[in-house]
Every structure is written in C-alpha cells, then in structure tokens.
Amino acid sequence: MFQKETYIRRRQALKKKIKKGLILLPGNVEAPANYAANTYKFLQDSTFLYFFGLDIPGIVGLIDVEADTDCLYGDDFTIDQIIWTGPQPALRELGEKVGVIGNTYTLFELQSVILKAIKQGRKIHFLPPYRSHNKMQVKNLLGVSSRALENYVSVELIRAVVSLREIKEEEEIAEIEKACETGYRMHTTAMKLCRPGINEREIAGAIEGIALRKGWGLAFTSIVSEHGEILHNPHYTNRLKPGRLLLVDAGAATDRCYNSDFTRTMPVDGVFTQKQKDIYNIVLEANNNTFRLITPGVTYQSLHLEAAKVIATGLKELNLLKGSVDDIVQNGAYALFMPHGLGHQLGLDAHDMEDLGERYVGYNDKTERSSMFGLGSLRMGRELLPGHVLTVEPGIYFIPQLIQKWQKERINAAFINYDTVADYLDFGGIRLEDNALVLKKGCRMLGKKRIPITPDEVEETMRQEAEF
Amino acid sequence: MFQKETYIRRRQALKKKIKKGLILLPGNVEAPANYAANTYKFLQDSTFLYFFGLDIPGIVGLIDVEADTDCLYGDDFTIDQIIWTGPQPALRELGEKVGVIGNTYTLFELQSVILKAIKQGRKIHFLPPYRSHNKMQVKNLLGVSSRALENYVSVELIRAVVSLREIKEEEEIAEIEKACETGYRMHTTAMKLCRPGINEREIAGAIEGIALRKGWGLAFTSIVSEHGEILHNPHYTNRLKPGRLLLVDAGAATDRCYNSDFTRTMPVDGVFTQKQKDIYNIVLEANNNTFRLITPGVTYQSLHLEAAKVIATGLKELNLLKGSVDDIVQNGAYALFMPHGLGHQLGLDAHDMEDLGERYVGYNDKTERSSMFGLGSLRMGRELLPGHVLTVEPGIYFIPQLIQKWQKERINAAFINYDTVADYLDFGGIRLEDNALVLKKGCRMLGKKRIPITPDEVEETMRQEAEF
C-alpha cells in the first residue's frame, strides 16, 4: 500500500464530490475455485483498494459524508486461527496504516448502521457489484431484491470515483511503470521462446511465471496464439506452425495491483515474410501515429479514426481496400480488419474502471459512443486529460467468419477487394500495443525501454536465448 | 477429456446408485476477479467434469434416473460472438463427445423441466454448492430460500458420488502421475533456486510458471515460506535468510484437472545443520513408515496415530517430549508439533471432494472423526480401499503462538519439556509430503521418480543450476 496520507487525501476528495449520505465500498472476499477452501489468488476490489488501501479479503469500507467519518468493518482473527495463520494485525492496526483511526468495527455491526441510515431516509451510495458474492451482500444489507439492485446504484458516486481514479497520481504512474518493466521481460521472453513446434502454452506459462515472480501476476488472461485473428482467445492449445504469426497480448500486475498491457506480434519462424511485414508496418505506423497525436483536449474517438485512416491508407496500397480513405473510414469499411477499439484506460484494472460502466468512464455528455461496428467497440472515446493512462493498440486481422459475413451481406462492398482479401484468409492477425500517459502537452510512452517493435528489433530479439 | 465411454459408464454407475429422481449437476461459470470481463482462469466443477467431461463454463447437467436420460443445458455461441471467439462447437456436438446424444437444450429450458418435476413431487438431487453463483442458481431453480438450501442437499447423491470418485480409475491415475511429473520439476526447481537473499515470491512464481507451462496450473495456492510453521500461509513476502528452512508445499493440475500435492523442506543455505537434520529425519521416517503401512482395510486414522508414534519417539530422543510414547500419542501431546492431519484424498480436487463434506468423504459409519486437537484435523480417517489416492504429509513445527497457549494453559504439561522447546522457537517447520495409491495389497508411491527427499539428495539438488 501507499502512505496513509494518500488514502486520507483520496477519501477527502471523494467526500467533497458527494453531497450527502453514506458511501458503501465493500472489498472483495476470497473466491472459491473448485471447493470453498481452494480459493483463487485474492484480488481486492480496485475502488476499495484505491480509497482504503487494504489488500485483505472480507473488509467493508463505509464513509459518512456529513459526519466526515471513514469506517472499516471486518472481523479480526481469533487466537485459534492465529495458530494456523501466524500473527495477524488487528483491523484497528490495519486501519491506522490507511488513516482510519479508531473507526473500525466488526462486520456484524454493519447491518445495523445501514439499517439506521435507511430508516433516517439517508442515501446509501454504492457502485455496481460485479461478483455474485458482493451482489448478495449489498442486496442483503440494503434489503432490496436482486432485480432492483441496479436501480439503486449511485451514478453520483460512479461519476465522483471516475473523476478521481482516471487522473493517475505520480505514485500510481510509478507502479504502472513497474508493471511495464515486468511486461518488457514477459514479451521479450516470449520472443526468445517462440519457434516452430513449441506449444503456445509453454510460452503462456513462462511469461505468466515471470509476472508471478515480480508481482501479483497477470493483468488479465494472456492471449498467446498463432490465431491472432481470434480476438477473445484465452486458449493455448496450438503447437506453433512455420509460417504463422504469434500474437502475444499480456501484461503484469504489481503487488499494489497496478497493471501494464502490451501486445506484440512475431513471425513463428523468426523472420517476417514480406507479406507479413507489409501488414505489420501499417499497424506499427498506426501505433506510432497515435503517440504523436495524443494530447489533452483531443478525443480518443478522433484518434481511433486517425488510426483507421492510417490502416485504410495502408490497406488501399495493398489493394485490399479501394475508394477514398475518408469514405472508407466514414463508412467503417476499415473495421472489417480492425473491429475493436484503439484502446482503453489502464490503472488498477486492465480495463480501468470497466465495472463502473464504460458510459461513465470512456464517454461523457460531450462524447457519445458510436453505434457503428468497430468504432462502437471503442471503450474510451472522450477527450483526454493530463494524467489519463491509455492503451494504444491498433491491429489488422483477417477473420474468416467476419469476412464471410460481410461478403455475404454485401456490407461496405464498394470499398473491399474481396479477391485480394481471399489471399489473406490464413494470415492471422497483428496487433501492436503500448501504454501512454497523457501529459500537460502531448504524451509519454510508459516503460523504461520500449519493447522491441520494429521488424528488425523483433527478429533480433527472437535470435536471443531466454534466461530463467 | 477422456473417451465418451468413460462418461457414459460413470453416469450409468451413478444412476444405479440413486433410486429415483433428477440429478442436477451445474457446471461452474466464469468467476470475475476485479470486473466482470476480467475473469479468473476457468476451473470446472469437479463432479460435473467427472460425469460430463466438458471443461466449458455455463453448462448444466441433468440426469433423469427413471427415464435413464442424461441431458446438457447450455447456450450456443451466436454468429456475432463467433466473430470474436473463432469457430465454436455447438452444445450438440460437445454432448456427443461425452456420450450425450441428442439431449442438449438451451439454459432457458432448464427452469421449466425442474418446475415440472417439482410439481410431480419428484426429488431433485443436488450437491452442496460452494460458489455464490451456483448457490443462487440452485436456489432460484428450486425456488427455495438461501437459508433452506442446505437442508435440501441430497445426502444420497453425496454418498453415491463419493463412492465412485474415491476409487480412481486407471486413466485417472495416469493423469495424477502426469501431475506428479510436473510436481517433480516444480520442487527440484525450487531446490535449485533456493538460496539466502532470494525472495520467496521468485521461487513461488517460478514453480507456478512450470505448472502453467505443463497443464492447467497449480493444484492450489503454493506455500513457499521460510515460516513453514505457519500452516495457512499463501504469502511470499520474505527474503530468505541464512539459517532458515524453506518449506515448499505445491502441486500441479493437469489440463484434465487432476492434481498432485507435494511438500519438501530445504535449508536456505544449501546444507542442513545437525539440529535441522535431527528433526528432518524424524519427519522423513514418519513419511516412509506410512508408505510401509498403507494397505486396504486399515484406517487412515490408525496410520495418523502410527506417524504420531514415530514423531513422539523421535522428539523424545531429542528431549522435547517425555513419558511413554503411547501416552504421548493417546493424550495428543505430539499434536503440539503436528497439529494437522496425516493426509487427505487427492484427485480432481487437491482435497478431493472436500466440497461434498469431509464427514462423507473421509469418514463413515465405521470411522468417526476425532474431536481431539490434531487428530481432529485429519480430513481422511476411514479404512482404505484399493484405488484410493492419498497424500502422506507428516510434519513437525514449532509454532510460537501454539506453544505459548499450551504452556500457559498447561495442556499436556506432563509430556512436554518446555525448556528444550524454547531452544526451537525460531526453528520454523518441516513437512515432507508424497502421494500414495492404495493397491490390492500395500500401496505405490505416485510419480516416476521420488522427488529428492533424503538430506543428501536435497543438498545435492540444491547445488544444481535451474534450467528454463
């Protein structure tokens, strides 16, 4: 955790933004995998962690805005438990570490405090729960039905939390940088291991091992696949075949739970073919160009469209697209090749604050989410502010099912040379992803060194031996 | 998965054991970590996997005993999803792979089938759900309250499932052997990495990486700690100090979700001190002696007590215990040094079938669970059968909080030389764990080669370099 002043300051800022009522912030509990005692590795709720800093299961935070009190509810270990767990600090001591002085109580006491507040007609602010356990917990505490729960979610609290969490503080950026360093090691190791005949799983396991050695572990389930064109792909079942491209989308989470998120794509053989390089360099230019354009005040939606222009221009040169670049972009024809968004915010979550709702995190009154295929998948569209941390992740994919669908339905038929596209049906996909910090002017790429990204750099790294 | 005949045979055997009614076996769903889309690595419910073999989230199995039908309920991917996920087999095709021919339906259809059965007064058998999601699912399907849910759990089904799952089939044993091979690699790597100054986390991450490269991953959260005396210890925060012992309790899960579970203890310095070796050799003898005694018909409770005798004898020689060995064991004085059980069953779960209730899995009408401290922690006490797979994991620990408590409360004061014990307060703990298969006569240690275990073998392995 950070120094207690950090959490005191954050809670003060939150209280200033919420007019009145109680703010209920339940932390996560252990999540059983295949029986109650065999739990997944504990991951704290990010918003609880942001305001209360304690990375321990089963604690609930409660802030009383009018009374200006920050309280923690949780149960101390008994002496019989301590025999098995070793000495454990009391909640009172834990609270002091995050600036909660005195206001610590047992979980049992929480219900009556909430009940009293409800009887007094006070508002209980809470965020949308995303785990079954927390849904039940909030539902039971508030005495509302499962169905009604989402109606009671506090949009005022969502907006307040987003406005704080979206601006990364210096110590948060330092953590993300740490996650980037581990990401560097993960991706260069993948490059060093990649070769025909190796299983995707060997590479996935090796880079996850690195993330686990350096911090909490993975930022998210890695994609390690010679089928980069499959965008949701958490499986590692292939033995890498010569001629394919391996796409690795993976990031690390530090022990303070901040994340990095990088993608690199490499030729299984260690050397790009000219055909691969042609597509690769378009994606690389879309990535680089975004970094040139990121600056406060521009919307990320407009930068998505700029990347689309780079891709449209490149694919036109390769005779895959036709017509004017502006028309291709305006009609969303490029989205056949890049159906996802340019990026998202990054922080305590890999998709930062996604649980709070992308309409509040990635969009606002000024920037509306598009309903177009492709652009509509963009998670972050709003204007950029200094302190935003973003992923920049353009890609070009040849997705047989999507190509087939469009061709059959004659979607954007005027812009697509399906004859040429047919030559790429077994190409796979390329994505190149880096992480950006928006500065007062322009932006900075996060990470000490950029992970090898030019075709030459990638090929050079692939020639090296992996170290333990 | 295995061949479909395996699952057909298992379901047939289950139907023979259940007189009538419907058997509801919900598979697991994805479990969100810090937002809905960021899920933990999927782990299927073990009993669903045992009978239906499909390692895919969101499927429910339903067996109608009287009608002799095995049905699967789940939703197919839409074409819009397949654009993102790549081609996906339909539930109908998946069903065929596990011998469910034709009887596949959408999840929506499940509710009415259950409702109809309830109206007809038919019994719906289900097992104790251990995840919040499945508790809600079963509760909603059956229309009972959360509180009442456990009253409706089918003990008949629990007993039937235990009687099948506890006898490991040949193909299951082959899977456990695979998990043992990965376990060998994990533990020898830990030995090779262990040295003063390295972080526990480096070793934990490295061995988890091996488990992930070879299969599903870890059997359970590893213990990698220079505080082996802390029995529940999922943290890796220490930098290893000279003079300490490192305890590593870790196992692998294969991609068919079968587990291994081993513990080794090693001197951080690479060489045991005489004091360490004296305790170590007692634990080693307790382990070896158990393997000599395991055979069908004996209870594991009696073997726990035999191990206790070995420990009592050894600790008496070191002047830590006094009095007769039989009295020490009968009064549970040895449990100050080994407060846990000798072992548990192992299979699709590391603590196999723990979710079904240890009273049905580890005990039966003939063998009752003890209420004594130590022996009462034994998960598996009943008489052994050919096909049982067990862990054998004796240990000796010096737990300051427990020693303090016993000394203060004068528990077993007649048997314990607290003056001598005081010299061991910073000793830590030693556990040595292997996996046994009960044969028609005697037992077999699982794993191609035994993981280095004698002090000489451990020291020799620690001198070797870790390979990637």
CA-nearest of B29, B6, B11, B10 to B103 is B11
Assess if residue B81 is contained within a domain: yes
Cα–Cα distance, A146 to A232 (Å, whole number): 29
Residues A175, A104, single domain; the answer is: no
Q: Cβ distance A205 to B213 under 8 Å?
A: yes
Cα–Cα distance, A212 to A209 (Å, whole number): 5
Q: Tokens 């920037």 map to which residue?
A: A367
pLDDT tens for residues B133-151?
999 999 999 999 888 899 9
Asked whether the beta carbons of residue A201 and residue B213 sit closer than 8 angstroms, the reply is yes
Asked whether the beta carbons of residue A466 and residue B468 sit closer than 8 angstroms, the reply is yes
Cα–Cα distance, B89 to B76 (Å, whole number): 8
Assess if residue A131 is contained within a domain: yes
Cα–Cα distance, B387 to B446 (Å, whole number): 12
What's the confidence (pLDDT) of residue A37?
94
Chain B CB contacts of A221 below 8 Å: 39, 41
Strand bridging mode A124-125 / A22-26: parallel
Q: Does A210 touch chain B (CB under 8 A)?
A: yes
Q: Cβ distance A388 to A438 under 8 Å?
A: yes
- Into how many domains does chain A fold? 2
- DSSP label at residue B62: E
Q: Is residue B215 very low, low, confident or very high in pLDDT (cuts 50, 70, 90)?
A: very high
- Structure-token pair, residue A159: 């907006």
Report the CATH number at residue B176.
3.90.230.10
Residues B157, B186, single domain; the answer is: no
Between the two ends of chain A, the Cα-to-Cα distance in Å is: 29
In chain A, the residue whose alpha carbon lies closest to the alpha carbon of B86 is A230
Asked whether the beta carbons of residue A212 and residue B211 sit closer than 8 angstroms, the reply is no
Q: Does B467 touch chain A (CB under 8 A)?
A: yes
CA-nearest of B204, B190, B265, B274 to B234 is B204
Q: Does A206 touch chain B (CB under 8 A)?
A: yes
The beta-carbon neighbor of A349 closest among B34, B348, B401 is B34
Residues B79, B186, single domain; the answer is: no
Nearest-Cα distance to chain B for A38, in Å, is 6
The beta-carbon neighbor of B213 closest among A44, A205, A354 is A205
Nearest-Cα distance to chain A for B459, in Å, is 21
In chain B, the residue whose alpha carbon lies closest to the alpha carbon of A336 is B83
Cα–Cα distance, B24 to A306 (Å, whole number): 53
Q: Tokens 């064109």 map to which residue?
A: A229
Nearest-Cα distance to chain A for B77, in Å, is 13
Residues A386, A458, single domain; the answer is: yes
> What's the domain range around B161?
4-165
CA-nearest of B21, B75, B25, B69 to B46 is B25
Asked whether the beta carbons of residue A355 and residue B36 sit closer than 8 angstroms, the reply is yes
**DSSP secondary structure, B418-467, as one string:** HHHHHTTTT--EEE-BEEEEE-SSSEEE-SSS----SHHHHHHHHTSPPP
- Continuous segment of H or E residues that includes residue B85: helix B79-85
Q: Does A204 touch chain B (CB under 8 A)?
A: yes
Percent of chain B at pLDDT exceeding 70 = 100
Assess if residue B468 is contained within a domain: no
Q: Does B231 touch chain A (CB under 8 A)?
A: yes
What ranges in B294-343 are assigned the alpha helix state H?
300-317, 325-330
Assess if residue B467 is contained within a domain: no
pLDDT tens for residues B347-383?
999 999 999 999 999 999 999 999 999 999 999 999 9
Strand bridging mode B429-431 / B262-267: unpaired
Rounded to whole angstroms, what are the CA distances from B274 to B270, B278, B318? 13, 6, 12
Cα–Cα distance, A375 to A258 (Å, whole number): 27
What's the confidence (pLDDT) of residue A145?
87
What's the confidence (pLDDT) of residue B147?
83
Residues A97, A150, single domain; the answer is: yes
Query: With the CA atoms of A167, A173, A179 and A184 taken in that order, what torsion angle do they form, in degrees rounded to the nearest 10?
Result: 110
Whether the predicted interface score ipTM is above 0.90: yes
Residues A260, A409, single domain; the answer is: yes
Domain boundary among A105, A131, A165: A165
Q: Is residue B468 very low, low, confident or very high in pLDDT (cuts 50, 70, 90)?
A: confident
Q: Does A233 touch chain B (CB under 8 A)?
A: yes
Assess if residue B179 is contained within a domain: yes
What's the confidence (pLDDT) of residue A436?
98
Q: Does A45 touch chain B (CB under 8 A)?
A: yes
- Continuous segment of H or E residues that includes residue B43: none
Q: Does B444 touch chain A (CB under 8 A)?
A: no
**DSSP secondary structure, B100-146, as one string:** --S-EE-THHHHHHHHHHHHTT--EE-PPP-SHHHHHHHHHHHT--H
What's the confidence (pLDDT) of residue A198?
98
Residues A152, A179, single domain; the answer is: no
Assess if residue B274 is contained within a domain: yes
Between the two ends of chain B, the Cα-to-Cα distance in Å is: 29
Domain boundary among B134, B165, B196: B165
What's the confidence (pLDDT) of residue A80?
85
Residues B71, B203, single domain; the answer is: no
CA-nearest of A190, A256, A258, A254 to A224 is A190
Cα–Cα distance, A55 to B395 (Å, whole number): 30
Residues B159, B217, single domain; the answer is: no
Residues B212, B342, single domain; the answer is: yes
Report the CATH number at residue B55.
3.40.350.10
Residues B195, B159, single domain; the answer is: no
What's the confidence (pLDDT) of residue A387?
98
Assess if residue A467 is contained within a domain: no
Mean pLDDT of chain B: 97
Interface of A with B in 272-311 (CB under 8 A): none
Q: Which residues contact A169 (CB under 8 A, 6 or more apart)?
A: A6, A387
How big is the A-B interface in CB pairs under 8 Å?
Answer: 182
Residues A160, A214, single domain; the answer is: no
B346-371: burial string, b at 16+ Cβ within 10 Å, e else: bbbbbbbbbbbbbebbbbeeebebbe
- Structure-token pair, residue A57: 């299961």
Cα–Cα distance, B165 to B169 (Å, whole number): 9
Interface of A with B in 351-370 (CB under 8 A): 351, 354-355
Domain boundary among B135, B165, B195: B165
Coil, strand or helix at A266: strand
Q: Tokens 């220079």 map to which residue?
A: B226
pLDDT tens for residues B86-142?
999 999 999 999 999 999 999 999 999 999 999 999 999 999 999 999 999 999 999
Assess if residue A55 is contained within a domain: yes
Q: Averaged in consecutive runs of 10 residues, what is the pLDDT profile of chain A (468 residues)?
A: 97 97 98 96 97 97 98 94 92 98 96 96 97 94 89 97 98 98 98 98 97 97 97 94 98 98 98 98 98 98 98 98 98 98 98 97 96 96 98 98 96 97 98 98 98 98 92
